[in-house]
A and B are shown apart, each in its own frame.
Chain A
Amino acid sequence: MSESRFSVGIDLGTTHSVVSYVPLNETDGEQASLRVLDIPQLTSPGVIGEKKQLPSFMYQAHEAELVPGDLVLPWDGQPEAIVGELARQLGSKTPIRLIASAKSWLSHAGVDRRSALLPVQSPEEVRRVSPLHASTAYLRHLRDAWNQQFPEAPLAEQDLVITVPASFDPAARELTVEAAQAIGLRQAALLEEPQSALYSWIQSSAGGWREQVKPGEVILVVDVGGGTTDLSLIAVTEEGGNLTLNRVAIGDHILLGGDNMDLALAYGLRAKLQAEGKRLEPWQVQALTHACRDAKEALLTDGDLQEVPIVVPSRGSSLIGGVLRTSLTRDEVNTALVEGFFPWVELTERPVTQARTGLTTLGLPYAQDARITAHLAAFLTRQVGATGDLAGFGPHTGQQFLHPSAVLLNGGVFKSGLLANRLLEVLNHWLAADQAAPARLLRGADLDLAVSRGAAYFGYVRKGRGVRIRGGTAAAYYVGVESSMPAVPGFAPPLEALCIAPFGIEEGTQADLPPYEFGVVVGEPVHFRFFSSTVRRDDVVGTRLDWWPADEVEELAEIEVVLSSEQHRPGDIVPVHLLAYVTEVGTLQLEAVAKEGGQRWKVEFDVRSDNERTGVAA
């Protein structure tokens, strides 16, 4: 492979994707000249425009729907899939053929993410693809757009970083890497989005960040994207006179974002119009949502604006007669967004959850509580001990929650000073009640592009230049084992969780070999229940839990291993250890290592089949 010329960052988002890049030869220290790639894409049938963002949508068109010659791209006369702006547009009128939020499906442990299931709930004849396939299609478009612009520096030969939510489970991370590898991007490394936002802040401060944070501080990163809210805590320590950054905690996967806010406003306006006796058709609600997005941004950024008129034209060619007219006022935005998403809550408040009807549901597990402040309260309280092991941080006796001293916000919704201020006010209210100093806002982040920019900068950091955020895995991982006790008819034996990967394994290192052995049948898929915990920092490999508080350990999708070997006969039971390590690109890998002979088999995440067989203790 030739020397790479660029460090490229891809923000593969839930609603749109962005590619940032930095020429490596123009980079000097923490000052890098970052650029954003123009992505050619179909903007309407037969028309190719350039945009900075590729909407993360895929459309499965009917064969009679479009003229074949209208589906072309500068690099491909017959693209395999319709992605981007045209997919979004066509899909807004024909939702049964639209694949959206593939990224959220990729992290949905309740479904088989390799199976063709999208779009869900559409008629039989619509061709379905897997969340993995859709993500691959978006990456392929981005790769081709890059290669067209830089034919002499193909993307497969550049330093490449793809961002994922901090709360992505190991399976979702591996699938993201798999999507990249499927189209020849073998070198792609992963970076957590809140970390990426912080990298972008470091880079844009051009070295000044060292004056803005001090050792002993904790930075809270709140990243509200189009579809997800992602929380991370990063502690500042000092080592040999240099500041170092440590990502000490991540939040839950919260499917709640800017799109929910637009919907909330549109539903508010619909109620207002219905009160006036007007009935709205579904397409009008959709147009209303669209109009609300622009109006929201205008109202939130311009403090003097009191009201923005909203008009939804009729669909026929008569424009003047059928216009639906209303307006969005500042008060309505305040009530719907500030009070709806960032209300004043006490620290003891928790997000409301309703019991779900089993793990396997054919729908995304959207957050049921829209109060981001309540999610934040739960996160900070749960992570009260996050900095306990770090030098320079005192014990947390008497502290109700982990005290952040600085806040970095990311995501377009925080262009609004109102939302940013409210979040900070609520946090400072909690801090004051806990006798702590108020937190401050870190300035200078590019709210829309920070994630992809930070990723491009991280490619440069990976070369050992510039400060690197340390952290490793932000969770400990466990497999379920049945405890050995006399069988009781009608009762499943109690489950114990065996730690196989402790908290904080760094990239490129492996965990210890656990003392515990499993007997695995050769030639048959063997399943294990799989768990993670983002708070249990002290469990080491081999720790067995026979009980845990409900909110400390979360069950993930099952893992599977198939022992296929020439050295063993099918049906043999081979004793193995489960070994965990973290690859250089940032994915967790599990391997079954034979007790004798040292043979290794890969343990697969996210598999689902009916002939299940749970691992038995040897």
Chain B
Amino acid sequence: MPFDLNVMPTTFDLVHAGLAALALLLLLSTIALALVSVLAFRRRPQAIPLESSLSVLKPAVVTTPEPVRVEPPRPVVVREATPDAALQLLGLFQQEARFIDFLKENISGHGDADIGAAVRIVHEGCRKVLQQHLDLEPVRTEPENSRITLPKGFDASAVRVSGHIVGEPPFTGTLIHGGWRVTRIHLPQLAEGHDARVLAPAEVEL
């Protein structure tokens, strides 16, 4: 086929019609992709449940994760953690258990007896926070070091296998750690505009 780049086509033939259709298709798909990514980006801050106004009165509830489904990869696969709930929990640990004080302190110069006394405060307070705000249960209730069998299609996000992983499930192995799972989280509600970044206010006695 001879190529003459100086000649303009005189009629809108089949080849050009096909080219135009392809260009339109590409344009549309670009717009669609852009829309999806913009939407996904905008949804992130809205996903913070506890920053929402006081009209949300039911405590946030974490449901047990559903089994992983195999889906085609999507443009956004990594979730960003929401800071407010984390700050709130840290604030509770500090308030009840002096958790931040303890972690920020240099313990190398203190004897075990002094550290032990401080740990009582931290342990008792943290325990209270866990009891009040989280419902915890072990993932596996069998005694640790007992032999258990994992059926085919077990939830790999809740049970981590290691060691000699070969063949097909069911797998039989030793339960090393029973795991923990949160079945319900009920954090206190926050006033609109409450600054959760202040984990503990400075205290001034007049």
Contact = CB atoms under 8 A, between A and B. Distances in A.
Find the residue from B102, B114, B190, B191 having the highest chain A CB count within 10 A.
B191
Q: Which of A309, A319, A320, A323 has its CB near the most chain B CB atoms (within 10 A)?
A: A319
A313 B118 CA distance: 7
Interface residues on A, range: 20 to 34
Contacts of B102: 319-320
B105 interface: yes
A315 B57 CA distance: 34
A364 B54 CA distance: 40
Interface string A292-322: 0000000000000000010101010111110
B113 to A, nearest CB: 8
B129 to A, nearest CB: 11
B48 interface: no
A363 interface: no
Contact of A317 (B104, B110, B118, B194): B104
A192 B105 CA distance: 53
Contacts of A392: none
Contacts of A334: none
A47 B194 CA distance: 8
B121 A313 contact: yes
Contact of B118 (A40, A71, A74, A323): A323
B114 A321 contact: yes
Nearest to A48: B189
A552 B59 CA distance: 56
B4 interface: no
B82 interface: no
Interface in B54-69: 54, 57, 59
B98 A313 contact: yes
Given A47-B191, A74-B54, A318 B105 contact: yes
Contact of A323 (B107, B121, B189): B121
A493 interface: no
A356 interface: no
Interface string B105-144: 1010010001101101110000000001000000000000
B101 A317 contact: yes
Interface string A33-62: 000000010011111111000000000000
Nearest to A62: B206
A48 B192 CA distance: 11
A72 B54 contact: yes
Interface residues of B, number: 31
A311 B194 contact: no
Interface string A365-376: 000000000000
Interface string B162-206: 000000000000000000000000101111111100000001010
B120 A311 contact: yes
Nearest to A44: B95
With most chain B CB atoms within 10 A of its CB, the pick from A46, A47, A320, A325 is A320
B188 A48 contact: yes
Interface centre among A49, A148, A321 (most CB of B within 10 A): A49
A70 interface: yes
A597 interface: no
Contact of A320 (B114, B132, B191): B114
A74 B189 contact: yes
Given A317-B104, A319-B98, A47 B188 contact: yes
A486 interface: no
Contact of B117 (A69, A71, A323): A323
B107 A320 contact: yes
A319 B194 contact: no
Contacts of B98: 313, 319
B54 A43 contact: no
A318 B101 contact: yes
Contacts of B101: 317-319
B194 to A, nearest CB: 3
Contacts of A93: 205
Interface string A58-85: 0000000000011110100000000000
B191 A311 contact: no
Contacts of A313: 98, 118, 121
Given A317-B101, A318-B101, A46 B194 contact: yes
B120 A309 contact: yes
A40 B191 CA distance: 13
Contacts of B203: 315
Contacts of B120: 309, 311
Nearest to A294: B124
B188 A43 contact: yes
B128 to A, nearest CB: 10
Contacts of B59: 50
B95 A70 contact: no
Given A48-B189, A313-B98, A69 B114 contact: no
A46 B114 contact: no
Nearest to B54: A74
A320 B115 contact: yes
Interface in B26-70: 54, 57, 59
Contacts of B194: 45-47, 69-70
Contacts of B54: 72, 74
Nearest to A149: B57
B40 to A, nearest CB: 31
A69 B95 contact: no
Contacts of A45: 194
A93 B167 CA distance: 64
A238 to B, nearest CB: 48
Interface string B85-98: 00010000001001
B53 to A, nearest CB: 11
A65 to B, nearest CB: 10
Contacts of A309: 117, 120
A74 B57 contact: yes
B193 A69 contact: yes
Contact of B190 (A47, A318, A321, A325): A47
A43 B194 CA distance: 13
A320 B107 CA distance: 8
Nearest to A309: B120
A93 B118 CA distance: 22
Interface of B: 54, 57, 59, 88, 95, 98, 101-102, 104-105, 107, 110, 114-115, 117-118, 120-122, 132, 186, 188-195, 203, 205
Q: Give me the 8 closest cross-chain CB pairs, A-B, nearest first.
A: A46-B194, A49-B188, A46-B191, A48-B189, A319-B101, A72-B191, A320-B118, A47-B188
Interface of A: 40, 43-50, 69-72, 74, 93, 148, 309, 311, 313, 315, 317-321, 323, 325
11 contacts: A44-B95, A46-B194, A50-B59, A50-B186, A69-B194, A311-B121, A320-B110, A321-B110, A323-B114, A323-B121, A325-B117
Given A48-B189, A69-B192, A325-B117, 12 more contacts: A44-B95, A46-B190, A47-B188, A49-B189, A50-B188, A93-B205, A148-B57, A311-B121, A313-B98, A317-B101, A318-B105, A319-B118
